[in-house]
Amino acid sequence: MNPLFVKGPALGLRLLLCLILSLVLMFADYRYQHMDRVRSVLAVAVTPLQWAVDLPTQLWSWGATTFTDRNQLLDENATLKAQALQLSSKNQRMAYLIAENLRLRELLNGQKPYKDRFLLGEVIGLDSDAFVHQVLINRGRDDGVYEGQGVVDALGLVGQVISVSTYTSRVLLIADTAHAVPVSVNRNGFRAVALGSGDMELLQLSHVPDTADIRQGDLLVTSGLGGRFPAGYPVAEVIEVTHRPGKPFAEVNARPLAQLERSRYVLLLNPKEQDAKSQHDDDSGVVEALSEKSGMRGESNSDQSDSNAAKQSAEKRQGG
């Protein structure tokens, strides 16, 4: 006759076994690369659960869009039209500046700027650890995502990809204490490194000389150093510069421009084309089409003016 209560190992012994197993796994993960495959397989197995967890949010968003009040839609439509008009006026000037920049590059025998490509992604999960700022997106290795890939939203730099599975990827936000990004002051080109502080609303610039020309309100953009992030993407705005007597470095704090806690959709910079599926190429094509509608048509005009300027310069050289 089986006993009613089966006595198993003591709780202390179970805890000791768990600790030993954890240490073994941590050592194997640190010293060997085989754990990356195990982690990738586990990430694929958990993907359906992550999609299921994100389903209520998708349904809520669909319901809010479907049953939105008509007056609210009219107000949003008017606001978007006004914003589109402002952006169109700015892009008219931008087309001229791009064409002028290309002509100056020709005079200096410089190369044309590299055109960034984008892949649209959606945030489907957040890290549960309050001291780790990471998000999970619905793009993976099959979409051309790779480790170290830069991620932006509509306002600025979000972070970079740190791990990739078949269908999903994990993004480390710029506010995390383990993240650093080379930046430059847009006003004068002064270079520095922006470090995450653990606060979603605060970045810190390290080793800024006390005599450096940096002011409150300066725009910080990616400098392109290191090759991780393309140059020119907005990162943060300087909100405080503190000079302390006798200290060689100033304390500079900045506020990230990207909506790190609110962005639902992000753009991954320069995905690998050879690994992307056709359906995801369609998504990136939609993004490019939207960009063209919002004013990127000026780029094609600048390319045309650039070719005309090249022809004129060639004719002058031949005439000389």
| Per-residue confidence band for 300, with pLDDT thresholds at 50, 70 and 90 | very low
In a 13 Å sphere around the CA of 235, the CA atoms on its Cβ side amount to: 37
Percent of the chain with pLDDT over 70: 78
More confident residue, 71 or 185: 185
Contact (Cβ atoms closer than 8 angstroms) between residue 310 and residue 106: yes
- What digits encode the pLDDT tens for the residues 247-298? 899 999 999 999 998 888 999 998 876 444 444 444 444 445 444 444 444 4
| Average pLDDT value for residue range 183-211 | 93
- Taken in order of first residue, the domains within the chain and their CATH numbers are 12-66 (no CATH), 180-256 (2.40.10.350)
More confident residue, 47 or 205: 205
Q: What is the DSSP string of 235-301?
A: EEEEEEEE--TT-SEEEEEEEESS-TTT--EEEEES--GGG--HHHHHHHHHHHHHHIIIIIHHHHH
Q: What is the pTM of this model?
A: 0.62
Mean pLDDT, all residues of the chain? 79
pLDDT given for residue 270 in this prediction:
86
pLDDT given for residue 2 in this prediction:
55
pLDDT at 312 over 70: no
pLDDT at 183 over 90: yes
* Structure tokens that stand for 39 in this block: 């982690």
Sequence-distant (6+) residues with CB within 8 A of 207 are: 192, 193, 249
Contact (Cβ atoms closer than 8 angstroms) between residue 298 and residue 91: yes
